[in-house]
Amino acid sequence: MNIYVLMKRTFDTEEKITISGGQINEDGAEFIINPYDEYAIEEAIQVRDAQGGEVTVVSVGNEETEKQLRTALAMGADKAVLINTEDDLDYGDQFTTAKILSEYLKDKDADLIIAGNVAIDGGSGQVGPRVAELLNIPYVTTITKLDIAGSNATVVRDVEGDSEVIETTLPLLVTAQQGLNEPRYPSLPGIMKAKKKPLDELELDDLDLEEADVEAKTKTIEIYLPPKKEAGKVLEGELADQVKELVNLLHTEAKVV
């Protein structure tokens, strides 16, 4: 089984977010594997262990992304590929990323491609389905279970809390929802082995892509922080009176009930 994982390096949104020069301030911030992509990596490893084959983790990013790719290798992936766009692109959107990934994947004969359903930084959730469409293969998003038998797959999809049981065939792209599995932590031997595993670096040239082929269709013109919330009102007095006051406030002041 030839398995690919699409991974993104993301800003850890548990960090405090500040803005400098119109951009999110990344100085000293912690970067992580997008949490939904961790489910994707774990699932890929489990499928490989059950079915045989190889897991390749691919990321579009910059040199810094090597660190997260090494972590994926330490978890148990076999190979990693960094498509480094640092020198070629100032700005990309989901059109850009999907185009690059699909150009990379188009001649790889992938049986299974797994991605996170959304990245916690940009939060658009587009790249998985876009890549599937560009490769002309079926996809199922936000999955919580994956069973593969031969070239058939049975997938459970989370649909706003309900579950759909979906039958489809390989080659297939799926995107991981929380609950799919429990991602493992890299073990110490895993970390040692990861240092020797192949991590290839490519640029747009290597994919026969010109900047114009992947030029973004949208543009961010401003980034800002939400207005600071004023401290709320903690009610006082007898509990029964507090409850009455709260209901009154919600009904007459906030008018939400």
In the range 49-88, which residues lie near another protein by CB under 8 A? none
Between 80 and 101, name the residue whose CB sits nearer to another protein: 101
Name residue 200's beta-bridge partners: 81
Task: Report 94-153 residues binding another protein (CB under 8 A).
Answer: 94-95, 98, 120-130, 132-134, 138-142
Residue type, 76: G
Contact letters for another protein, residues 166-205 (x by CB under 8 A): xxxx--------xx--------------------------
Q: How many other CB atoms are found less than 10 A from the CB of residue 64?
A: 13
Q: What is the H or E stretch that residue 162 is in?
A: strand 162-169
Distance CA 139, CA 132 (A): 6
Between 196 and 222, name the residue whose CB sits nearer to another protein: 222
Stretch that binds another protein, among 43-51, 69-77, 81-89, 241-249 (CB under 8 A): 241-249
Residue among 34, 29, 24, 58 nearest 225 (CA): 24
CA dist list (Å): 91 to 59, 88, 94, 178: 16, 9, 10, 29
Distance CA 9, CA 65 (A): 6
- How many residues bind another protein (CB under 8 A)? The answer is 77
Q: Which residue among 19, 50, 151, 192 contacts another protein (CB under 8 A)?
A: 19
Task: Report 203-232 residues binding another protein (CB under 8 A).
Answer: 215-226, 229, 231-232
